[in-house]
Structure 1
Amino acid sequence: DLYQKNKQIIISSDRPPKAIPTIEDRLRSRFECGMIADISAPDLETRIAIIGAKLIEKAYQLEDEIINLIATSIQSNIREIEGAINRIIAYHELKKEKPTMETVKPILSSLINLPRKGSITPKIITEIVAEYFDIAINDILGSCRKKELVVPRQIIMFLMREELNYSFPNIGSELGGRDHTTAMHAHNKIKNKMLDDEKLKQDVILLKQKIFNLA
C-alpha cells in the first residue's frame, strides 16, 4: 500500500537485504530495488567538519589544532565528540579561560581513558538539578508555578534539549506530560536569559559539569 501511494520508507540494518534470511522474498526484492547506502564511521575530514558545525551551532570558537586533536582522539562516536565539545566549553566558561592544547588534552584524556559511569538520562538531569536547587523532584514534575520551581524546571528542559538532543514533545513528556510548546518556550527562555544573566549562566555551567562527571 505504501509503495503504491509513492511513500518513502527508510529501513536500517547491519546487513544488506539479501543477507537477511527472515524476510519474505517479495519484501527482499522490494528493498533491493531501492537505494542501499553503507553507513560507515566518519573519516577524519568528516569528523573535523562535524566539530566545526557543532561549534557554529554553539557560537563557540576553538583553534584548528584543538579541533584536529578532538577529531583524532575520538573516532567512532559522534555523540562522544559532541560530549567532548560540551565538556570543553563548560570547563573553560567556568574557569573563564581560553581553551589551549594544554587545558584541552586532560579533558580528552579523561574521556578516552576513564571507564564510563553511565550515560546521561532525563532522570539524571532532573535529579542533579533538583539537588542543586534543593527542591523535591515531585515538585518539579508538578504544576506549581512558583518562581523557585519554574526556573529549575525550565533549566531541566533546556539541558535535555542541549545535552540529549531530545525533541520538545519528548521533553514535555519527561516533565510530567507537559505540552511541547511549554518545552520549546522553556528552552528559548533559558537560552536567551543566559546572554545577560551571569548568575543563571554560571548555574547552567555548574550543572553541566555535575552531569558530565556522571557520564
Structure 2
Amino acid sequence: QLEGCVKKLKASQHLMGTPPTMTQAMNAIREILSDDTIAPVTVDRIIAEVAGIYGVTSDDIRSMKRSSQISTARKVAAYVIKEMTQLSLQNIGAELGGKNHSTVSFYIDSISEAVATDSGTKETIEDIIKNIKGATS
C-alpha cells in the first residue's frame, strides 16, 4: 500500500512537472489508511487470540512448555496461522519459538483431524478465525 502511495506521488510529479507537496503526500497516505482498508492479519494477533481462548499467554505458546493446555494452544495457533497467512511451515515454526517444519506439519495435521472429527474443535477454530477477521476489518 505504501509503495502504491509513492508511485501515485511520482506519477503526479511526472504529470504536473513539480515535486509533490506535503499536502499531496498526506492525502495519499490518508487514502491508504481509510476505514475501508482491511488491516493485514498478523501472527502476533493470531497467537494472542488463540492464547486468550485457551487461557495461556502468547509467551507460553512460543515457549518450550509442554502442558496439555499450552500444547493444544500451540497446535491451534499453527493451524490458524497456516489457514490465514501465506507463511511456510518453516516460518510458522520460527514464529512458534523455533519449532522445525515437521513439528509444525504434525501440529497442523493433528488439528485438521480434530476439526474433521470433533464439532467442538471445529467451532472453536471458526470462532478464532471470525474474531481475528473481525478485529482486522
TM-score (norm 1): 0.46
For 1:214, the equivalent position in structure 2 comes to 135
SS in 1 for 2:117: coil
Aligned to 1:144: 65
Amino acid at match of 1:195: A
CA RMSD, Structure 1 to Structure 2 (Å): 1.5
Q: CA deviation at 1:138?
A: 1.3
In 1, the alpha carbon distance for the partners of 2:55 and 2:113 equals 24
Distance 2:37 2:67 in 1: 37
Distance 2:36 2:131 in 1: 17
Instruction: Check whether the contact 1:117–1:214 (CA below 8 A) recurs between aligned residues.
Output: no
Deviation of residue 117 (structure 1)?
A: 5.2
Query: Over alpha carbons, which structure has the higher Rg?
Result: 1
Matching of residue 199 in structure 1 with residue 120 in structure 2: yes
Residues 115-194 of structure 1 correspond to what in structure 2 (within 5 A)? 115-116=36-37, 118-194=39-115
Q: Provide structure 1 residue ranges, at least 5 long, that are not aligned to the other structure.
A: 1-113
State the Cα distance separating 1:208 from its structure 2 match: 0.6
- Spell out, residue by residue over 1:79-109, the C-alpha distance to the aligned partner (whole angstroms, 9 max, x if none): xxxxxxxxxxxxxxxxxxxxxxxxxxxxxxx
Q: How many pairs were matched up?
A: 103
Structure 2 residue ranges without an equivalent (≥5): 1-34
Query: Does the Cα contact within 8 Å between 1:129 and 1:156 map onto a contact in 2?
Result: yes
Q: Distance in 2 between matches of 1:150 and 1:213?
A: 26
Larger RCO: 1 or 2 (CA < 8 Å, sep 6+): 2
